Amino acid sequence: MATPARPKVFKNFINGEWIEARSGKAIENRNPANTGELVGMFPASTEEDVNLAIDAAKGAYDKWRLTPAPKRAEILYRAAEILIERKEDYSRDMTREMGKVLAETRGDVQEAIDMTYLMAGEGRRQFGQTTPSELPNKFAMSVRTSVGVAGLICPWNFPMAIPSWKAMPALVTGNTVVIKPAEDTPLSTYNLMQVLSEAGLPRGVMNVVFGDGPEAGAPLLNHKDVGLVSFTGSTEVGRIVSQACAPSFKKCHLEMGGKNIIIVMDDANLDLAVDGAVWGGFGTSGQRCTAASRVAVHKKVYSEFVEKFVARVKALKVGDGLDPSTDMGPCINEQQLKTVMKYVQIGKDETAKLATGGNRLESGAWGRGWFHEPTVFSDCDPKMRIAQEEIFGPVVAVIPFEDFDEALDIANGVQYGLSAAIYTRNVNNAFRAQRDLQTGIVYVNAPTIGAETHLPFGGIKNTGNGHRESGEAALDFYSEWKTVYIDYSDRLQRAQIDNA
């Protein structure tokens, strides 16, 4: 698609209005499959804009928190209906701004729909506890309360799903929101905001500030009126976020990097494992936090697996995600492509065996974007950097192992702990694996990707800091527990003393 003579110019959404950033500067949003196509110009916001958005969210907070949760939820139900109507348009927008294939961007919008419905349902749940008091004529219960202004900072790889994972539970529990999408994928958050606004979200309840991390994200972290911060992105930036939130004891939720593994046992259905490794390793061009960037294979089936896997990877068609015959799109930007190329060189220097791929794709239409061949290194040592560090691109390290215990050691021998999978038909190994794998998510006979919105999502070690996205678990982050005792005895009753 050619860029129109005058590209579309987008604005921030603050207090119910689309307004320009104070800096007057803009960031280009270009199609990574065809960098000649300018998707739009988005505001390069700074602290001034962020402060305005926080003021708007603070101003809207009291009315919103006092709006009954089922009424808040009705707006979410309407938003989900609108998202369904516009699913195809928004999926196409997303492929244009970040490159993943249409089937996957449809999945991304679907995830936003699922999350919006799920959290709308929470409008009539958000259950607390009622329990007997240890004292007579006394009532005890716990209820969820909202926190305040939520600052949400998102990555580019799930441009509508991740903003919805954060915004929907924040809103239904009565918080107001300032969201800062990734600079590479602002359009999908713009679309989500448009939908929520049309669905009837009151002014100021959700505000969008576009821009880069240090200028438009960092001001959220130490503002006194922001009560909680939810961040998804790299471990490196997550550490900055965590440290910035610490002095004011802000509630801080971090979802960070991964180095996920598929273990293939000698009793596995090998063709199924190959299917899983191709989808897990090269879906979203390997740019998923849950991507299967390591595949550990039992020595008894190693040669057969590698042969089948490499043949399938070689056959993947790389190109523009809008073309229905494309299997894998580009890297998100030039910097990410360079990272992939750097790690390919590291893999070669480490003497891993380059089984397929290894090059940037530059001829013909590929030359217009940030394309890289799907790449497999075999015969990797688990301590190699390509088997330890997050590459976030279409590169998979295949590692041989002798037995189940060694496979577990390999799996757990990385700094991350997001997702892991095992292919086996042995029920004992399946159960041991789900118990002993040090990750927040485990799959048996399925790849490392495929989370569903009604279950907790997140990781341990350097992937997460103890909170979870999705499901009922998300409510625990976006609300505070309040414990309420009501004494109707008309006398002073001292717990642990008068009834001892």
Q: Which residues bind ligand NAD (CB under 6 A)?
A: 153-157, 180, 182-183, 212-214, 217-218, 232-234, 237, 240-241, 255-258, 289, 390, 392, 418, 459, 463
Residue number with CB closer to ligand NAD (43 or 400): 43
Residue number with CB closer to ligand NAD (241 or 273): 241
User: Which residues, 6+ apart, have CB-to-CB distance to 122 below 8 Å?
Assistant: 69, 73, 169, 172, 173, 472, 475
Q: How far apart are CA 147 and CA 124, in angstroms?
A: 19
Q: What is the 3-state secondary structure (H, E, C) of 236-299?
A: HHHHHHHHHHCCCCCEEEEECCCCCEEEECCCCCHHHHHHHHHHHHHHHHHCCCCCCCEEEEEH
Residue number with CB closer to ligand NAD (230 or 424): 230
Q: How far apart are CA 333 and CA 184, in angstroms?
A: 8
Smallest CA-to-CA distance from 273 within 288, 263, 287 is with 263
* Residue of closest CB approach to ligand NAD: 213
Residue number with CB closer to ligand NAD (242 or 424): 242
Residue number with CB closer to ligand NAD (157 or 176): 157
Residue number with CB closer to ligand NAD (180 or 298): 180
Q: How far apart are CA 277 and CA 416, in angstroms?
A: 19
Smallest CA-to-CA distance from 112 within 85, 149, 83, 78 is with 83
In the complex, least distance from residue 45 CB atom to ligand NAD, rounded to whole angstroms: 11
The answer to whether 130 touches 141, Cβ cutoff 8 Å, is: yes
Residue number with CB closer to ligand NAD (262 or 301): 262
Range 158-177 burial, b when 16+ CB lie within 10 A, else e: bbbbbbbbbbbbbbbbbbbb
In the complex, least distance from residue 258 CB atom to ligand NAD, rounded to whole angstroms: 5
In the complex, least distance from residue 221 CB atom to ligand NAD, rounded to whole angstroms: 6
Q: How far apart are CA 469 and CA 254, in angstroms?
A: 9
In the complex, least distance from residue 236 CB atom to ligand NAD, rounded to whole angstroms: 7
In the complex, least distance from residue 138 CB atom to ligand NAD, rounded to whole angstroms: 43
In the complex, least distance from residue 458 CB atom to ligand NAD, rounded to whole angstroms: 6
In the complex, least distance from residue 61 CB atom to ligand NAD, rounded to whole angstroms: 22
Nearest 5°: phi and psi at 325?
A: -85, -5
Residue number with CB closer to ligand NAD (288 or 298): 288
In the complex, least distance from residue 396 CB atom to ligand NAD, rounded to whole angstroms: 15
Strand 251-255 relative to strand 206-208: parallel, antiparallel, unpaired? unpaired
User: Which residues, 6+ apart, have CB-to-CB distance to 479 below 8 Å?
Assistant: 126, 144, 145, 146, 147, 173, 174
The answer to whether 46 touches 21, Cβ cutoff 8 Å, is: yes
Which sequence positions are flagged as catalytic? 255, 289
Distance of CA 185 to the CA centre of its chain: 13
